[in-house]
Chain A
Amino acid sequence: MDAIERSLLEQVAELHEVPEGAYNIRANGKAAARNTTASIDIVSKTDKDGIDIIIRPGTKNQSVHIPVVLSQSGLQETVYNDFFIGDDCDITIVAGCGIHNCGVQNSEHSGIHSFFVGKNAKVRYVERHYGEGDGLGENIMNPTTVVEMGEGSYMEMETTQIKGVDSTVRTTRAKLGPNSTLIIKEKVMTHGKQLAKSDFTVDLDGEGCHTNVISRSVARDDSKQIFLARINGNAKCHGHSECDAIIMDRGVVVAIPEVTANCVDVELIHEAAIGKIAGEQLTKLMTLGLTEKEAEEQIVNGFLK
């Protein structure tokens, strides 16, 4: 792995060295490194590009890293990763994609991640997207996440896209079983002429299930973001979606909440707040000795922290 690939790896997975536990590192369309453990197996798919990650029931306090880095300009790939998480597991999964594009052709990575979460399992899923490079080619990422949650399971999904991704369409589909909980936290910052679209659909099928879809985003320059949160309440359940966005320069944010109650015992709430940085927030930080630009940076960094 060269210096550019190592730097990308650090951005998307906070990895400085080879991680502990199970991992699969994919670089420029090929498997670069893999490690399995007694309770976490990683198997290459034979019918298409991608891997199966099989986590044995009862696996606790372990992590799986599956970062992807692309440093060859013009590389376009679609990868299927399926996670089979056994009952009663408690694990952390870190995925991410870093693209370094110095060429004129577009680099594109589409990761399709499916999670089958067993009964009473607890999963923390962290996904980071990062792009860089001074070429004319665009960095494009279109992640799809499919989640099926078993009874009593809990999943927290954190997705972050802070820099350098020219175009992204993030699609998430989830089906929740009885008493399961899905928390989605999305952080996006776009700049230049970037476009970021997030399309969430959560089906609350099981009695007593719960979801919270939270988006915090900043749209700068001429960038555009679309946030679509669709929650379908099909049983006695609780659903909440929240879009909180700061717009700067000529940035555009569209928030489209859609909640459907198909059952009389459903409780669904959506909230959306979009606006520029409040003048009094800037003034307060300026009274502490910060310049207006420094104050703006602090507010944006804090907001996306």
Chain B
Amino acid sequence: MLELQNISYGVEQDGEDKNILRNINLTIGERFVAITGPNGGGKSTLAKVIAGILVPTEGKILLDGEDITGLGVTERAKKGISFAFQQPVRFKGLTVKDLITLASGKSIGVPEACDYLSEVGLCAKDYIDREVDASLSGGELKRIEIAMIMARGTKLSVFDEPEAGIDLWSFSNLIQVFEHLHEKINGSILIISHQERILNIADRIIVLADGRVQNDGARAQVLPQLLGNVPSVCSALTDKVR
């Protein structure tokens, strides 16, 4: 159970204070929670605050009742928080097996690595010894990133826009991975996404805009509102379309 109490995060920009997160209060314990909202609304910042990459300017973060606000990235990872990057990182020399081994925290053999990789649609034989460098495509990197989160199997897994940077075909296959992810992870999944198909498999949807929680509730309640609330487009554009 993750609790965010009065979380705010601000930066100084051009000599002025800019608030990216404003007084966020959330309790997350469901199986699958999606956070959505417009670009620049603070979603990725919130994910980084949870993972410990950014330190909130105000507020408290509790994991299973324990205050983890003062803990760094490593300590939070050890307490059971996993974080999948929006842009997976490339490493010259480290192989897929190296990263999955580090993620699982123990020495693993080919069959175990194969278990994780096959779950994300990669054949271990082709990938296990490959370096996680520029030779891998964006879609492959995303899958490896997800396999690492599976190998960790922690109580909370945060995914920052898994659809970002990959083509529609690759994403379509990834959806199936997310549909079965909670069975593999046995913990809460918090996923930041703009994709309706991801929102469609969430138990709960939180809408974050302008650094605030704008809407929060069960999927059945929030999703129809989101789909019905298409922002108005400028008249010059609609005239052209007509």
Contact B83 A281 (CB under 8 A): no
C-beta contact mask, A261-301 vs B, less than 8 Å → 1, else 0?
00000000000000000101101111111111000001101
Complex formed: what's the CA distance from A253 to B55 in Å? 35
Contact B102 A303 (CB under 8 A): no
Contact B73 A287 (CB under 8 A): yes
Contact flag A302-B74 (CB < 8 Å), given A278-B89, A287-B83: no
Q: What is the minimal beta-carbon distance from B214 to any residue of chain A, in angstroms? A: 28
Contact A302 B94 (CB under 8 A): yes
Asked whether B92 is an interface residue with its Cβ less than 8 Å from the other chain, the reply is yes
C-beta contact mask, B56-72 vs A, less than 8 Å → 1, else 0?
00000000000000001
Asked whether B171 is an interface residue with its Cβ less than 8 Å from the other chain, the reply is no
Cβ 8 A contact of A287, one of B82, B92, B98 = B82
Inter-chain contacts of A302 with B (CB < 8 A): 91-95, 98
Asked whether A132 is an interface residue with its Cβ less than 8 Å from the other chain, the reply is no
Q: Which residues of A come within 8 Å of B, CB atoms? A: 216, 244, 278, 280-281, 283-292, 298-299, 301-305
Among B72, B83, B102, B148, max chain A CB count under 10 A is at B102
Inter-chain contacts of A280 with B (CB < 8 A): 85, 89
Contact A304 B73 (CB under 8 A): no
Inter-chain contacts of B142 with A (CB < 8 A): none
Q: What is the minimal beta-carbon distance from B74 to any residue of chain A, in angstroms? A: 5
Asked whether B38 is an interface residue with its Cβ less than 8 Å from the other chain, the reply is no
Inter-chain contacts of B83 with A (CB < 8 A): 287
Complex formed: what's the CA distance from A194 to B102 in Å? 31
Contact A286 B94 (CB under 8 A): no
Contact flag A290-B102 (CB < 8 Å), given A283-B73, A299-B94, A302-B94: yes
Asked whether B226 is an interface residue with its Cβ less than 8 Å from the other chain, the reply is no
Contact flag A304-B51 (CB < 8 Å), given A286-B74, A287-B82, A288-B103: no
Asked whether B177 is an interface residue with its Cβ less than 8 Å from the other chain, the reply is no
Contact flag A283-B93 (CB < 8 Å), given A288-B103, A289-B74: no
Inter-chain contacts of A283 with B (CB < 8 A): 53, 73, 89
Asked whether B78 is an interface residue with its Cβ less than 8 Å from the other chain, the reply is yes
Contact A289 B91 (CB under 8 A): no
Contact A284 B89 (CB under 8 A): yes
Number of B positions contacting A (CB below 8 A)? 25
Contact B94 A288 (CB under 8 A): no
Asked whether B77 is an interface residue with its Cβ less than 8 Å from the other chain, the reply is yes
Complex formed: what's the CA distance from A305 to B102 in Å? 16
Inter-chain contacts of A291 with B (CB < 8 A): 74
Q: What is the minimal beta-carbon distance from A100 to any residue of chain B, in angstroms? A: 29
Q: What is the minimal beta-carbon distance from A39 to any residue of chain B, in angstroms? A: 33
5 A-B interface contacts by CB (under 8 A): A283-B53, A285-B102, A288-B102, A292-B74, A302-B93
Complex formed: what's the CA distance from A244 to B93 in Å? 12
Contact A290 B74 (CB under 8 A): yes
Asked whether B204 is an interface residue with its Cβ less than 8 Å from the other chain, the reply is no
Q: What is the minimal beta-carbon distance from A13 to any residue of chain B, in angstroms? A: 23
| 9 closest cross-chain pairs (CB), A and B | A302-B93, A302-B94, A289-B77, A286-B73, A303-B93, A284-B89, A287-B83, A286-B74, A289-B78
Complex formed: what's the CA distance from A288 to B80 in Å? 10
Q: What is the minimal beta-carbon distance from B142 to any residue of chain A, in angstroms? A: 14
Complex formed: what's the CA distance from A303 to B85 in Å? 21
Complex formed: what's the CA distance from A139 to B207 in Å? 64
Q: What is the minimal beta-carbon distance from A14 to any residue of chain B, in angstroms? A: 20
Asked whether B165 is an interface residue with its Cβ less than 8 Å from the other chain, the reply is no
Complex formed: what's the CA distance from A114 to B85 in Å? 50
Contact A288 B152 (CB under 8 A): yes
Complex formed: what's the CA distance from A304 to B77 in Å? 27
Q: A283-B53, A298-B98, A299-B93 are in contact. List 10 more A-B contacts (CB 8 A).
A: A244-B92, A281-B89, A285-B102, A286-B72, A286-B77, A287-B51, A288-B103, A288-B105, A299-B94, A301-B93
Complex formed: what's the CA distance from A245 to B98 in Å? 21
Inter-chain contacts of B102 with A (CB < 8 A): 285, 288, 290, 298
Contact B74 A304 (CB under 8 A): no
Contact A298 B82 (CB under 8 A): no
